[in-house]
Structure formats: structure tokens, C-alpha cells
Structure 1
């Protein structure tokens, strides 16, 4: 099975250094261009299933790349692949957070794995949510399927960590670029990373 992991195009929030979890910002002009380039990169790959997060930035990216009117592709909006809920930090930038939540921010820096964002989601809950989501999809998919997941940087990091055996510790070992895709070959309980950020 081939697993194509797609990060949405750049948004206005990304452009301005905003913590962007469940809060949505529109795609920037650069993000729209990235999606068009990505469509071109993927045009020779036959995709059987497309799963995308419920966030508008992921939906808009999926819509720009794939033909939603095609009966040959199975489409599913999937809550499991939403970005982490940053709670009160959502929609704020680094400077604001480090100044107004200094102690909590230091706790996050000290050990992100046990941190829960104020009035948001814990990293552990986020990791488990995404992991369960990808495991369910692998379970119901065929060996010959080409599956695309259109989601977020954090979501894709979790999928890579889970399938490649890095667990929580590997989360910040991957840099996931906007408007790019990464490819995994998945066979039963093992996975091989073919390439990152193409």
C-alpha cells in the first residue's frame, strides 16, 4: 500500500507565525500556488482514496488537487486527522504566548510529550487520536491501494512517527513543508519512507 501524506498549502496564519490548530485561516496566495504545483506533481499517480481533515485549509487543498466529482476515488472527511487543538494559544503568535503564558510555555519547552495546551488538547491525546485514525485506515485498505491523506504538519509528523516506530520522541525530527507530499510504502506492520517533502 502506498500512503501519500499531503500538508495543506501555506495559510495567512502560517505566513504570520500564528499557532494554528482548530482555528482556520485562508490559504495565502503562495499556498494556492503550492497546491497547483502539487496537483501537477501527483497527476500521474492513481489515487484510490482521499482522507482529509475537517479544517478548511485541508479541504481547500484536497479540492485543488483531486477531482471530487470522480467516482473512481473514495473521499472521506476525517476528524482524526485534524491538527492539535492549541486551546487558548490558538490564533496567537510565539511572542504573545511566551509573554502571557510564560510558565506554561516553559513547561511545553521542557517536555512537550506530557503537556496539555490551556483549554486545549494534550499532546498524548492528539498523538493517540491520529494514530488510531491511521491504523483504522490501514486495516480496511487493500495492499494495492494508493491512499492520500490531506492534513497538517503535526498530523503528518504523528503518522510518520507511528508507522516508522519513532513514537512520541520522534515528533520534532521531521520538518513537514507546506504544499508538499511525502510517500510511505506500508506492508502489514511495517513501513518504509520513500521520500519526504516532494
Structure 2
């Protein structure tokens, strides 16, 4: 029996930026990588080279794009932008300290900690909206690189709903998966099984990373 044609996705989170270490809600604020983030991006590129990806698709935000460019340089491939991998729009929370949000919006902060899938913030996307547009972006890339391997660089609040959508994880799912800065996970896709998770949150290639639990 012939095995189904498999596509391998190297799903990476961007390297560290100021918003990570200062405890800010990032959203669409365009933070560049900091010094450690640049080092992480280079280490990530080296780690992904043995997989021989054909391309790297990225969120358009600078912290993701710079990470993707480091992967591209290490693997001698092209960078493609897809707004479907852009970070979650967080509306009036963007760029603000989490401590401030917890103080000013205690009920919504509680929802963020317990069930962000149901969170509603003025001007922000819902997790369902993020899931739909990121899955559409992933499907586009899988169709383009069918049977091959590609990398995708995006953000924590995109990877979580994206994985939930790919794997059929019911809500509340957001806090059931974890990924650190400049980590990568491996998904495999074929027409028989759809998406399968091969590996989650690999960080052994990093000399240092930021871990966030809220």
C-alpha cells in the first residue's frame, strides 16, 4: 500500500524582544528583536538547517521577519510574508504592561488567565478569528509546498489557536500548550490524517530563552 504524501511544517516562534522581557502585551506593536533575540534567531536557523526547508513563511512583524531572515540565511532559502500569520490584534491592550491590565481590567484579566478563548477586548480579535485566518495561511503554504518541508514563523498567541485548530483540541485550549521564544514545533500533514503533531516546543538549540506563562 502506498503511503500518503507528507508535508513537514517547522512551526517556529520568533526570538525575544523587549515586550517579552518587560511583560507587555505585544499584539501588533512592531518590536524588533533584542540582542538575545538576534542570537536566538541565528541558533534557530542553525537548528532547522538539517531539515532542509524549501522556504520560510512569516508574519510581517519585525520580530518574526528578522527571525525568518536568520532561518533563510542559515538554510539558503527565500522569505515569504503572509498576513495570516500576523500576531493577534489585542486592541486597547497592545503595548501595555500586563500588571496594568490586571489592575485596570480585573474581570477581563481573570478571563485571560482562565479562558482567553472567550475574552472580548475593545478593538481586539477573538481567538476563533485568529484560528481561522492562521489555519487558512497554513493550508495555503501546505498546498504550495506539498510533499516537501517549509518553516513558518509566527507568535505565541497565533501558534496556540493554530495548533488547536489543526489537532481538534476543544476550548479551552489556550493554556494547554506552551512554546518559548525561538522554539520550534513540527507538524506533518497528509490527505489521509490531516495535521499531526510530531514535536512541540523544541528549545535544546538555544543558549537562553524567555519563558512566559501568562
Query: Would you say same fold, with TM above 0.5?
Result: yes
1:86-101 matches, within 5 Å, as 86-101=90-105
Q: Distance in 1 between matches of 2:170 and 2:139?
A: 14
Match of 1:136 among 117, 122, 140: 140
Q: Residue 103 of structure 1: SS of its match in structure 2?
A: helix
Shift of 1:74: 4.9
Question: 1:68 Cα deviation (Å)?
Answer: 9.6
- Distance in 1, Cα, partners of 2:64 & 2:21: 16
Residue equivalent to 2:178 = 175
What is the alpha-carbon distance in structure 2 between the residues aligned to residue 135 and residue 117 of structure 1? 28
Change (3 A) 1:194 1:60: same
* Count of aligned residue pairs for this structure pair: 195
Shift of 1:157: 1.5
Deviation at 1:167, TM superposition (A): 4.2
* Matched ranges for 1:108-127 at <5 A: 108-109=112-113, 111-127=115-131
Structure 1: 5+ residue stretches without partners: none
Q: Secondary structure at the match of 1:184?
A: strand
Q: Tell me the distance in 1 between the aligned counterparts of 2:74 and 2:44.
A: 16
Tell me the distance in 1 between the aligned counterparts of 2:155 and 2:169: 19
Q: Deviations over 1:150-179 (max 9, x none)?
A: 111121122221222214432221111111
* 1:77 CA drift (Å): 0.5
Match of 1:67?
73
- The residue number in structure 2 matching 1:80 is 84
Task: Give the secondary structure class of the aligned counterpart of 2:158.
Answer: helix
Aligned 8 A contact 2:16 2:34 in 1:
yes
- CA gap 1:157/1:110 in 2 versus in 1, 3 angstroms: closer
Other structure's SS at 1:20 match: coil
RMSD: 2.1
Provide the residue aligned with 2:10 in structure 1: 4
Q: Verify the 8 A CA contact 2:49 2:74 in the aligned structure 1.
A: no
Q: Quick check: 2:12–2:151 contact (8 Å CA) kept in 1?
A: yes
TM-score with structure 2 setting the length = 0.82
Q: Which runs of 5+ in 2 are unaligned?
A: 1-6, 203-214
Whether contact under 8 Å (1:68, 1:75) holds in the other structure is: no
Cα distance in 2 between the residues matched to 1:42 and 1:195: 13
| CA deviation after TM superposition for structure 1 residue 140, in Å | 3.8
